[in-house]
Structure 1
């Protein structure tokens, strides 16, 4: 294959070196060099990461990559793995995902007390991220709303979910005064709990009558616009816009 002159030119214009670009996209400088010298098309995730770092459209660097997407292949590239139950994912894996965040953390849940119960210093982690410039947004269920009451009945949990939502408000209230952190209450029917850290996301689906920890979990990674990742992200934005701030 001929060399990728588009990539060579964009790299030169950006001011990045092979080493600095490789560091940004978490790969090896030799790999970046091969993308240029051999014209090899990288994995979609790496291609979009390179395009974001260089500030160009990925189609400018690798037109064939997007042609494959437009032809209907790779429509599910955002989906990286599926777990039968949320509890199958080790808690350290959750912590690692959020600890690596550099831009934004978004959480849409009713309570998700496991974050506070199983991740030591969860509030401290969010506070530290906010202090380092990460935008942190948390949506928790309004304990008094109808949707939360109904979910408790569906899961044969009575007032348990309402109590857990109330406890979540107590956990997150100290963060309401931290610059860079916003906590809101929502009253929507929660079709999926969403946990986003930059371009990574866990989607905890909800089966009727089953507690969240026993429901399937999807692991997504944003590889292209208008994919599964963006669809779930848009869902959270809609809930966020209708939610109200948690009072201090």
Structure 2
């Protein structure tokens, strides 16, 4: 039995039928993936399954992953998505849930988390209470940069409104030690979300909103690789940011 696949499905609350529908296969096929030793799905079915379950191919099918192992700088690229909206909600949830040391949300508004992740504030409060550092880098809703980007986007729910939603939600949990927030304009066209050694990076395209941005799922495997370079960028922004709540301490 593929115990890793069975366990991942149980943790993600995904049934055989649901996974079969997402992969476009018969439910009996999924059953064979689980129960038959050595059974390895086709590559595209493995990729869809990994996205649905928020788990890596090396965990679910280590033999297949070993054959396709990357040895160059691109080994830190776990997955790519033409649009951030194509990045499964289950992957975000898994990354947030599994992080133990660091959660950094360096999106200009970070609005979509409150919209798409159930009980997001509660999850952040719990993580911080467990010793995980939780940080938000947010655009200043009253800045000229924000007004300029609002003109570019030209959408009804403008940037400043989305930022203020995030600020309002953060204000509800700011009393929890370990949750910090700073204003920064340096990431206006690049959003970085870090979950320990995993990261989602979304370079924003002109005249496009965040959910239309091409998206990379990265995992740290080397010094001074793609992960470290993006992480260094965020740390510089953080050090130069302005505390949202007027507390200059670094937590």
- Cα deviation 1:185-214 (Å, max 9, x = unaligned): 223351211111000000111111111101
Contact 1:152 1:158 survives alignment (8 Å): no
| Deviation (angstroms), 1:79 | 1.3
Decide whether aligned partners of structure 1 residues 155 and 234 sit closer, same or farther in structure 2, where only a CA change above 3 A counts.
same
Helix, strand or coil at the partner of 2:217: strand
Helix, strand or coil at the partner of 1:77: helix
Contact 1:152 1:159 survives alignment (8 Å): no
Residue equivalent to 2:190: 192
Residue equivalent to 1:166: 164
Contact 1:110 1:148 survives alignment (8 Å): no
After the TM superposition, which residues 67-216 of structure 1 pair with which residues of structure 2 at under 5 Å, given as runs? Answer: 74-157=72-155, 160-216=158-214
Contact 2:137 2:182 survives alignment (8 Å): yes
Residue equivalent to 1:234: 232
Helix, strand or coil at the partner of 1:106: strand
Unmatched tracts of structure 1, length 5 or more: 1-26, 32-42, 45-72
TM-score w.r.t. the length of structure 1 is: 0.68
CA distance in structure 2 between the aligned counterparts of 1:121 and 1:245, rounded to whole angstroms: 25
CA distance in structure 2 between the aligned counterparts of 1:164 and 1:102, rounded to whole angstroms: 28
| Deviation (angstroms), 1:158 | 7.1
CA distance in structure 2 between the aligned counterparts of 1:116 and 1:168, rounded to whole angstroms: 7
Helix, strand or coil at the partner of 1:177: coil
TM-score w.r.t. the length of structure 2 is: 0.67
Contact 2:107 2:187 survives alignment (8 Å): no
- Cα deviation 1:49-93 (Å, max 9, x = unaligned): xxxxxxxxxxxxxxxxxxxxxxxx602221122100011112121
CA distance in structure 2 between the aligned counterparts of 1:166 and 1:197, rounded to whole angstroms: 24
Unmatched tracts of structure 2, length 5 or more: 1-57, 63-68, 247-251
Contact 1:131 1:180 survives alignment (8 Å): yes
The two structures, once aligned, show a CA RMSD in angstroms of 2.2
Larger Rg: 1
CA distance in structure 1 between the aligned counterparts of 2:213 and 2:107, rounded to whole angstroms: 14
Helix, strand or coil at the partner of 2:79: strand
- Cα deviation 1:205-234 (Å, max 9, x = unaligned): 111111110111011000011000011111
Displacement over 4 Å in runs of 4+: none
Aligned residues: 182
Residue equivalent to 1:21: none
Contact 2:106 2:187 survives alignment (8 Å): no
| Deviation (angstroms), 1:166 | 1.5
CA distance in structure 2 between the aligned counterparts of 1:137 and 1:79, rounded to whole angstroms: 23
